[in-house]
Amino acid sequence: MIKSKLFKNLSIYTFSDLINKMVPFLLLPVLTRYLTPSDYGNIAIFFVLTSLLGVIISVEAKTSISVFFFKKSRDNLKVYIANILFIVSSFTTIILLFILFFDSFLEEILSLSKEWIIVAVIVTFAQFLTTVNMVLWQSEHNSIFVGVYKISQTIINLSLSLVLIIGLKMGWEGRLIAITFASIIFGGYSIALLFKRDYIEMKFDKESIKEALSFGLPLLPHALSVWFRTGIDRIFLTTYISAAATGMYTVAFQIASILYVVAVALNKAFSPYLYKKLNDITNEEKIKLIRYSYGYFLLLLIGAFILSGISPFIVNYFLGSKFVEAQQYITFLSFSFAFQGMYLMVVNYVLYMKKTALLSYVTITISIIHILLSYILITQYGLMGAAQATLITSILTFFSVWILSYKVYKMPWLSVFARDHRSE
């Protein structure tokens, strides 16, 4: 019964996440023909900004909700979520004030107007509200609600983007307007659902705030380090080469990221099951988990090989002639995303044991390495250097966190082979 339910959730999460994340891929043939690489670079910088804001604003609270869902009573969980929203609203306000005081500096660094930077903050806050709703549904194993919600948002996002870019010829700004509209609509509906489903009790609680911050703040450097590994290269490309280079690299990045989309979908379905299972697990069940994990690793590596092989076909037939250069970076990025997907599997054990401070030490160190590698390789080899730096740090991250996960929660990662050998 558990297996069938898990398979059902995996199927629905994978399908809905693929549909949702396919928007950039579905739009690629449009964007690469109606927009220049420089225009595409502006869109990429907006996404880099919202991803950074998402880390800062959320204080990684969404992860704590997933973990504490199985550890708190319903009444305590309602108070906890309400206080998380208070924390996130406070951080959002502080960031908006920061933008008002340092707007000129930010405009120069990001090549975006103050208005678009403020919009990015609003979009990020709205997306967080949707994320909270999604995390709760995932913890409840209500995969169908998650799928319908995501696909509905995707349809609105995609349709409005096509109308604004093709019909009204609004260029890159049309794409950002579509993202903003969809995010606000579904963010507002998400907060309404949280109240309707009785998941919020408006009660200020110092202990909940302290608990949320003690979980999230140590994880914040780790989350920022993740952003550095995915965002700093765009900043360097824009600064040292051009916005057009950023656009070219982002196209290759999006094509390769299909592997990570699959990995994230699988992890979203699997992590609640894993957290629950680890509360009371036998040695035989540990062996099964490790076997599934190795199969998952192999699947991602095979996927990287396949994606690398068909990338010339994708570029030649689906992208405009202005973006043909993107093909040569896809192989490095495909394997990079394969290792990032493998990282998602092993980091769950660290999160379950709440060893977020140790995780931060590891990932911050690797992020510093990535910053240095990106700077050196990009200034020396351009876009190819960015792809190479990403692959190197993805491999380092996976193996480092894998070792850490074994230290904080013993799993038979190596002895499983010995057991198989004896059984033969």
Is pLDDT above 50 for 209? yes
Least confident of 35-44, 93-102, 178-187, 316-325: 316-325
**Structural element, H or E, at residue 63:** helix 61-68
**pLDDT score of 269 more than 80:** no
2 falls in which pLDDT band (50, 70, 90)? very low
Per-residue pLDDT, averaged over 73-96, amounts to: 90
What would the pLDDT profile of 123-169 be if each residue is shown by its tens digit?
A: 999 999 999 998 888 888 777 787 788 888 888 988 898 899 998 98
Of 157, 43, 164, 156, the residue nearest 110 (C-alpha): 43
Per-residue pLDDT band for 421 (boundaries 50, 70, 90) equals very low
Q: Is the pLDDT of residue 42 over 90?
A: no
Residue 93's CB: how many other CB atoms inside 10 A? 12
List CB contacts of 125: < 8 A, sequence separation 6 or more: 57, 88, 89, 92, 187
Start-to-end C-alpha separation, the chain = 29
Cα dihedral 237, 219, 364, 348 sign: negative
Q: Which of 322, 278, 313, 311 is nearest to 410 (CA)?
A: 278
What is the domain extent for residue 326? 2-419
* Closest C-alpha among 386, 394, 294 to residue 336: 394
Q: Helix 74-101 vs helix 61-68: angle between axes, to the nearest 10 degrees?
A: 180
Q: Is the pLDDT of residue 375 over 90?
A: yes
Q: How many helices (H) and strands (E) does the chain have?
A: 16, 0
Q: Quick check: is 164 in a domain?
A: yes
Cα separation of 354 and 373, whole Å?
30
Q: Is the pLDDT of residue 422 over 50?
A: no
Residue 97 lies in a domain: yes
**Is 416 a residue whose pLDDT tops 70?**
no
251 contact partners, CB below 8 Å, separation of at least 6: 28, 32, 40, 319, 323, 326
Residue entry with tokens 């490095």: 332
Tell me the C-alpha distance between 248 and 268, whole Å: 30
Number of structural domains (the chain) is 1
Least Cα distance to 121 among 51, 203, 60, 218 occurs for 51
53-to-86, 96, 224, 285 alpha-carbon distances in Å: 16, 11, 10, 39
The answer to whether residue 161 sits within a structural domain is yes
CA separation for the pair 161, 165 (Å, rounded):
6
Phi-psi region of 171 (alpha: psi -120 to 50; beta: other; left: phi over 0): left
Instruction: Please check the confidence at residue 187 and state whether its pLDDT lies above 80.
Output: yes
Residue 16: what pLDDT? Answer: 67
DSSP 191-254: HHHHHHTT-------HHHHHHHHHHHHHHHHHHHHHHHHHHHHHHHHHHHT-HHHHHHHHHHHH
- Which pLDDT tens digit goes with each residue over 403-414? 999 998 888 888
Could you give the 3-state DSSP secondary structure of residue 264?
Answer: helix
Which candidate, 298, 313, 299, 225, places its Cα nearest to that of 14? 299
Q: How confident is the model at residue 4 (pLDDT cuts 50, 70, 90)?
A: low
Residue 147's contacts (CB-CB under 8 Å, 6 or more residues apart) are 12, 13, 15, 16
Q: For the chain, give the percent of residues with pLDDT over 70.
A: 92
The mean per-residue pLDDT over the stretch 15-36 comes to: 73
Please state, for a pLDDT cut of 90, what percent of the chain lies above it.
32
- Lowest-confidence pick of 9-18, 38-47, 96-105, 339-348: 9-18
The stretch 244-273 carries a mean pLDDT of 84
Q: Is 424 inside any structural domain?
A: no
The answer to the question of residue 26 being in a domain is: yes
Among 193, 318, 189, residue whose Cα is nearest residue 251: 318
Has residue 35 been placed in a domain? yes
pLDDT at position 1: 42
Q: pLDDT value at position 299? A: 93
Category of 144 on φ-ψ map: left (φ > 0), alpha (ψ -120 to 50) or beta: alpha
- The rounded mean pLDDT for the chain is 85
pLDDT of residue 423: 41
**Mean pLDDT across 307-311:** 90
Task: Select the more confidently predicted residue: 68 or 343.
Answer: 343
